A and B are shown apart, each in its own frame.
Chain A
């Protein structure tokens, strides 16, 4: 699975993130210094114990107890406030970086071209926006903090021990590299195992998803046992891998705790002799005992954190790659200056779109292929004309309308809108004037009203109902208990495909577009409704340029001009009557469609 690669970036990828975290750097520096301070408190706290033992206990006196308590409490309060500030800053930095990265990714995605969406599936892109950003937030806040805190704690404990007794400190410190290497070795294995586990986890979720979304098919095909055995295979492997991973992690945590007791043994042995000889005071010995027991776990923690930092490289790489991806279709600087971009349109400078569309010697292939879909294609569509495009699957019909909408740009040649190259005006200008209906209708979650308002944000209920009536979809709303408030839901579950198509048609009409594109938009609508829609199309296309693509030829017989497309070229053009009289490819296609019927006649 390509999801899990290893990536190593210079300086852990931080330079790539710099533009997004720059403004948080002062906060991060403050957070780090506060964290370091807290770790010093932690490292030095055993000294209180030492004083208690060497002063109160050894000298058998309670002199200075008041000062002792006051100092302790004072430092404790400072420590507490310091800790509060550190954790709060850490959390805040994490969340702010998360938010900024998510926003950056999301708004960048609004500008990327369809070719990007064709290349990457939704799940993949979604993971970039939601989970990569989260992991990076954790990295620049908590992981950084963990490293700093544990690192400085270990350093201070070592310094403390060296100050107290260099030789004994040396013995204890000898264990540090051993622990670090041991943990690093097992952590590496653990990471490998965890990678399998993550893959298996998504495989299992995939199995569940298939079994559940495909329930109807599973039942009809009697594939229950098969589905169960696939899941069973994955869960079995999951169990095996997880236990293996647990073995690695248990081994090194057990080993580290064992090392800690070894450190204790060393201190007891050497320190015992020293204090026996009166060289070392009891308090110092107790400090060593505490330090020896407490310093190896942070070492382990640092190694683990370090490996986690390395693991985040992949996320940084993926996210920055998304952010660096340039849109295939983009407006030039001059255009943006005049017309504005998608996020800041300068509507005051927009010319009114008339609806004349012309293809001039257009050749096109998709960015991810090199087979030309259109070659030296020419077509002129007058304002207000109703154009139908007919042809077999893969002939380039959808490509053609995609070019009209400037979702793609010609590889060579020009598409003119109102006599000017489409590239001379902004995308948002064009899109604001286009009504586009797709083969698979997409409704957003929310009510029917919300969905229709997508076409016109401030549409009143009257306008909405009128649009619905135009496409004979008012019945849907009348039938539904909640009317316009009916949930269009998870992809509009409660609605049939045909109903969804009708709604999306009404939505397109509400936008009052100058150019209307219907790409197989009526495939799942029954004949009677379709007839009603045809009438509606006839009325609403009156002053609009419209492009209609249809398999069902009955939809397009009324078009002003029908284009028969074959292999990226127009092979025939004319009205229905003309083409039928011509007795060419269109005639043949049409006849075949009604072949059997014609024989009956």
Chain B
């Protein structure tokens, strides 16, 4: 059952599946383009030398001359040489284009695969995982870390390869022209690379620090904006402004300092490469004067040397960037290696359709259930009760008494630490999670609206319902009038990018949503708290006729919401304090009665 853990390397391999061939194709094209680039200075060298007079030519030069019908012809047909340069340039451009496009396709395929797999995995992770991790952090892992890994594979890896290849080839050609000079100019490569790697590793900490500061500054602005009403109500504008400005100043100082370092680095690099170029120029000139190097060879050598400088300077940065990729990969591994809710049990039937499910609703039994979040204290202690099929259970309890946890356990959003829960006599542990959830309609206290139209939200759990059914559900949830007031009606966009619904409207949408899904167990987790009393009463009245065939659990602070339930339990600090019908509980004279008294006080 347990999936194997991904290592950094294993996961890279896993994600790169499907884009490997493209990456290789891109690299091959890059090799060809680089090779063709190397040909150009060589042509220039031969041309210059031949044009200027008889110079010794090497074997390749002889081939070159033969192509152009001998030396004399070449001298008079410089046009063909130029044409050849142009054609080589054209071919190099084609390969360069191919290299980039294949690489881009590979990279995009890779990043898509990463995003989709990560998201699919996250969807399978249990609610407890979601609670332990901050949303922002997870999103960052799925966006910027994924991006970093993609860049590593598509930019840094290929860049490394390309630069290494370029260095080897340029050095080879340079050595062919003048070995000693090539060795001397080659010395600077390790110097620049090591210097750059050293610098980038040194500065990495400062970069990270600056990034974190930016994150904090950004979070501060975000908080101020979301809490603007609180800021105003307390008249703390000045405090906020000063706080922001001082953090802003700190952040800016950090970057200016970093800029000084970076500028110093770039300029010292300029110095090193400038001196190296001087060395090549002077030694090259000396070699020419001595007659060991032809003028054409000198020009070609200087060209090759020029080709080397930028890649070598880049190499250090690329190497240090690669270390960031490792961190990002670890952060992604953390998600991929988190244990998902276990896969569907083998024997379970496929999800039954809505019509098939319209069988009699099941009974619910909690027996000796205890629960604690992680290592925390128990929030439920030895809870036992039974809800007979088709009956309604009311749950009353103070803030933090464990009411919501109770229903979360039923939906298997969490697993009880002790005890068992059964549905129609069957332990829910043995049921497929998805099938279980397909039978339970849970209306949350703070329901989440997805971006999309109102209709899309309503049909979230039941895509195939008719408009009449939707209208009926809206009616029951007392949402009809609200919808009619929207100019776009059911097609009104809601969620983050749409119309902002009030808390009560959201709750009513969630009720309609669950009603439409036609599930056999309905749970209303304080889902009318934001609705005014009048509407609350109306909805309950309509619900009563609508949920006749379902087993219902009602959670509320309001006695009036619960009093008609067949059975009511009163929760207090994770335990069931009282249990019975409204009348029984009243005559028992306990907590329920006390709450009842408070709520009815003044009613007469």
A525 near B: Cβ within 8 Å? yes
Please give, as numbers and ranges, the residues of chain A lying within 8 Å of B303 by CB-CB distance.
289
Stretch at the interface among A149-157, A238-246, A360-368: A238-246
Return the contact of B51 from the options A261, A276, A435, A576 (Cβ within 8 A): A276
Q: Is the interface of B mostly helix, strand, loop or mixed?
A: helix
Complex A-B: 18 CB contacts under 8 Å: A56-B289, A76-B270, A81-B267, A84-B264, A88-B263, A99-B248, A122-B225, A206-B451, A210-B495, A219-B411, A226-B463, A228-B123, A243-B104, A268-B44, A275-B51, A442-B229, A496-B400, A593-B534
Bound form: Cα–Cα A87–B112 in Å: 37
Contact mask for chain B residues 34-69; partner A; CB cutoff 8 A; 1 contact, 0 none: 000000100110011001100000000000000000
Please give, as numbers and ranges, the residues of chain A lying within 8 Å of B460 by CB-CB distance.
221, 223, 226
Bound form: Cα–Cα A243–B108 in Å: 7
Please give, as numbers and ranges, the residues of chain B lying within 8 Å of A52 by CB-CB distance.
281-282, 284-285
A444 near B: Cβ within 8 Å? yes
Inter-chain contact B116/A235, CB cutoff 8 Å = yes
Inter-chain contact B221/A126, CB cutoff 8 Å = yes
B334 near A: Cβ within 8 Å? no
A24 near B: Cβ within 8 Å? no
Near A by CB (< 8 A), chain B positions 223-242 give 223-241
Please give, as numbers and ranges, the residues of chain B lying within 8 Å of A576 by CB-CB distance.
602
Contact mask for chain A residues 489-505; partner B; CB cutoff 8 A; 1 contact, 0 none: 01001001111000010
Stretch at the interface among A9-17, A249-257, A375-383: A249-257
Return the contact of A268 from the options B47, B105, B503 (Cβ within 8 A): B47
B598 near A: Cβ within 8 Å? yes
B93 near A: Cβ within 8 Å? yes
Bound form: Cα–Cα A81–B266 in Å: 11
Inter-chain contact B400/A261, CB cutoff 8 Å = no
Bound form: Cα–Cα A336–B295 in Å: 80
Please give, as numbers and ranges, the residues of chain B lying within 8 Å of A79 by CB-CB distance.
270, 274
Return the contact of A98 from the options B244, B252, B529 (Cβ within 8 A): B252
A73 near B: Cβ within 8 Å? yes
Q: How far, in Å, is B118 (CB) from chain A's closest CB?
A: 9
Inter-chain contact A498/B602, CB cutoff 8 Å = no
Return the contact of A590 from the options B94, B222, B517, B603 (Cβ within 8 A): B603
Return the contact of A73 from the options B278, B503, B603 (Cβ within 8 A): B278
Chain B residue nearest to A275 (CB atoms) is B51
B13 near A: Cβ within 8 Å? no
Inter-chain contact A219/B127, CB cutoff 8 Å = yes
For the A-B complex with A204-B143, A215-B122, A527-B599 known, give 7 more contacts whose Cβ atoms are closer than 8 Å. Answer: A56-B286, A60-B289, A126-B221, A209-B135, A276-B78, A439-B503, A527-B595
Bound form: Cα–Cα A344–B262 in Å: 40
Give the number of residues in B that approach A within 8 Å (Cβ atoms): 166
Please give, as numbers and ranges, the residues of chain A lying within 8 Å of B142 by CB-CB distance.
208
Near A by CB (< 8 A), chain B positions 138-171 give 138-139, 142-143
B7 near A: Cβ within 8 Å? no
Inter-chain contact B282/A246, CB cutoff 8 Å = no
Stretch at the interface among B187-195, B363-371, B545-553, B557-565: B557-565
Please give, as numbers and ranges, the residues of chain A lying within 8 Å of B286 by CB-CB distance.
56, 62
Given known contacts A231-B116, A261-B40, A262-B89, A212 and B122 CB-to-CB distance under 8 angstroms: yes
Bound form: Cα–Cα A24–B264 in Å: 22
Q: How far, in Å, is B170 (CB) from chain A's closest CB?
A: 15
Chain A residue nearest to B254 (CB atoms) is A95
Near A by CB (< 8 A), chain B positions 193-252 give 217-219, 221-241, 244-245, 248-249, 251-252
Q: How far, in Å, is A269 (CB) from chain B's closest CB?
A: 4
Inter-chain contact A343/B241, CB cutoff 8 Å = yes
Please give, as numbers and ranges, the residues of chain B lying within 8 Å of A255 by CB-CB distance.
93
Please give, as numbers and ranges, the residues of chain B lying within 8 Å of A99 by CB-CB distance.
248-249, 251-252
Near A by CB (< 8 A), chain B positions 70-103 give 75, 78-79, 81-83, 85-86, 88-90, 92-94, 96-97, 100-101
Q: How far, in Å, is A550 (CB) from chain B's closest CB?
A: 10
Near A by CB (< 8 A), chain B positions 514-569 give 517, 526, 529-535, 537, 557-560, 563-564
Return the contact of A57 from the options B271, B298, B398, B537 (Cβ within 8 A): B298
Chain A residue nearest to B513 (CB atoms) is A221
Please give, as numbers and ranges, the residues of chain B lying within 8 Å of A107 by CB-CB distance.
241, 244-245
B6 near A: Cβ within 8 Å? no
